[in-house]
Amino acid sequence: MKILFFSDNFPPESNAPAIRTLEHAREWVNAGHEVTVVTCAPNFPTGKVFEGYSNNLYQTEEVDAIRVVRVWSFIAANEGSVKRIIDYVSYMISATIAAVFLPRPDVIVGTSPQLFAAVAAWLTSKFKRRPFVFELRDLWPESILAVGAMEKGLMVGWLERFVSFLYRQADLMVPVTQAFADILEQEGVVPEKILIITNGIEPGSHQLTESREEVRAKWNIPADAFVGGFIGTLGMAHGISTILDAAELAREDATLHFVVMGDGADKEQIHLLAQRKGLQNVSVIDGQPRQDALNMLGALDVSLVLLRNEPLFETVIPSKIFEAMEFRKPILLGVRGESADIVVNQTRSGIAFTPEDAPALLGHLEALRDDPDRCAELGRNGRSAVETSFRRSELAARMLAAIEALDPALPD
């Protein structure tokens, strides 16, 4: 089977859509299928093209036997709204045009975020007359409204109607959460066309290349401190200032230290806020290559996973919880809803607290510092969970089986 996949992000970018797309596509290639990914020049989240790449009209490469087609787009940093929408739309146009000249696939997949990658897949499915699969990883326009990037109005109303239409156009909807699946049914998608494929990770597929001691020395992190850290995109949705508020409360406690590593819309604000508060117990580090980020995760005592206190975020499952489980790190989760149920009840791999509640974050971190046996137990539970319930290869195989069941024999 020939699978054509549209994703705005792909490695060497290291955000969740890029990694999920790579790991699923790699499993499908290993199963004997041909996969082509249409993406753009890697630039997320800084808006600067990665070294070794250029923002050309059309270029190709091969990654783990996956054919990768990179198209031109208007590149903007992961901040603001107008330029980012132009970025998204330009990718959609370039990707759709490029797809015209690619061999006819058997099935076409589009993933969100961002929405316009799925639009490109839908348009191509109409032109190529092939089934359309929509992998739903984020809700539009709800997510941009929740972070204040746009306000409710005529344009948002139009977007809501179009998104609902697009859901119903798909031959298969692949949401990453049960909450998303419930929303799809409310939008009129028949249950038979919905398959939930959560995020996950392949146990043993990620290795640390530096020791805990080496990482801490490299970034001037106290060797003997109990360290809680957030590693990932510093976006408008994450409420990273909660970590700085907790650090301010703990400024006299030399046994605790906080790490924030990443790039994104709120990076400069986080740097300035840490400086303004004069926090010596926080290390704010720019985004690093994926291997360095994994090494940092290995050097933490607790993984901090946060989102803002917005009802929408009760429907999402941050993918970084599975990386924490892989490396046996207890999780402090400032998120309500489905992800809290996974961490606290299903896997018993961490503790959930009210989003944006800095005293609660600090209190739980102190409790874990004082109870190493519980830390170890939470870490073991998490690793066991990814081995049994959230193994990426098994999740990719379930999605592939549903794709294979689609009938590509549409009329020419």
Task: Note the pLDDT tens digit of each residue in 285-306.
Answer: 999 999 999 999 999 999 999 9
What are the CA-CA distances from residue 282 to residues 46, 237, 246, 251, 273 (Å)? 22, 21, 10, 9, 11
pLDDT band at 209 (very low <50, low <70, confident <90, very high): very high
Q: Report the largest interatomic distance among the alpha carbons of the chain, rounded to a whole angstrom.
A: 71
Q: Evaluate if residue 106 carries a pLDDT over 70.
A: yes
What are the phi and psi torsion angles at 192 (to 5°)?
A: -65, -20
Mean per-residue pLDDT, 106-119: 93
Q: Look at residue 159 in the predicted model and tell me its pLDDT.
A: 81
Q: In terms of pLDDT, which residue wins out, 7 or 82?
A: 7
Burial code (b: 16+ CB inside 10 Å, e: under 16) for 126-139 equals eebebbbbbbbbbb
pLDDT the model gives residue 364: 98
Strand partners, 285: 261
Domain map of the chain by residue range?
2-200+391-404, 212-388
Residue 181 has pLDDT above 70, yes or no: yes
> Is the model's pLDDT at 371 over the cut of 50?
yes
- At 74 the pLDDT is 93
DSSP, res 248: H
Give the span between the Cα atoms of 167 and 110, in whole angstroms: 12
φ/ψ region of 247 (left if φ > 0, alpha if ψ in -120 to 50, else beta) reads alpha
When mean pLDDT is compared across 130-144, 207-221, 225-239, the lowest value belongs to 130-144
Which residue spans within 13-112 are E strands per DSSP?
34-40, 58-63, 66-71, 107-112
Q: How high is the mean pLDDT of the chain?
A: 92
Answer whether residue 118 shows pLDDT above 90: yes
Task: Give residue 409's pLDDT.
Answer: 59
pLDDT given at position 83:
81
Using alpha carbons, select from 154, 160, 170, 166 the residue that is nearest to residue 140.
160
- Asked if residue 263 has pLDDT above 60, the reply is yes
- pLDDT of residue 75 exceeding 80, the answer is yes
Residues with Cβ within 8 Å of 238's Cβ and at least 6 positions away in sequence, in order, are 230, 232, 264, 266, 306, 307, 308
What CATH superfamily classification does 212-388 receive?
A: Glycogen Phosphorylase B; (3.40.50.2000)
155 has pLDDT over 90 = no
Per-residue pLDDT, averaged over 356-373, amounts to 98
pLDDT digits (tens, 9 = 90+) for 19-45: 999 999 999 999 999 999 999 999 988
Q: For position 411, what pLDDT does the model report?
A: 47
The pLDDT of residue 28:
98
Correct CATH for 2-200+391-404 of 3.40.50.2000, 3.40.50.720, 3.40.50.300, 3.90.10.10: 3.40.50.2000
pLDDT band at 107 (very low <50, low <70, confident <90, very high): very high
Give the pLDDT score at 78. 63
Question: CA–CA separation, 29 vs 65, rounded Å?
Answer: 7
Query: What pLDDT is attached to residue 321?
Result: 96
Q: Is-same-fold flag (2-200+391-404; 212-388)? A: yes
Mean pLDDT of 199-210: 93
Task: Please give the Cα distance from 224 to 226 (Å, whole number).
Answer: 7
pLDDT at 146 over 70: no
Which tokens sit at 333? 């989760």
- Which pLDDT belongs to residue 3? 98
Task: Quick: pLDDT tens for 330-349.
Answer: 999 999 999 999 999 999 99
Q: Which residues of 253-271 are buried (b: 16+ CB within 10 A; e: fewer)?
A: beebbbbbbbbbbbbeebe
Top pLDDT among 85 and 197 is at 197
pLDDT at 149 over 60: no
- Overall residue count recorded for the chain in this entry: 412
pLDDT of residue 45: 84
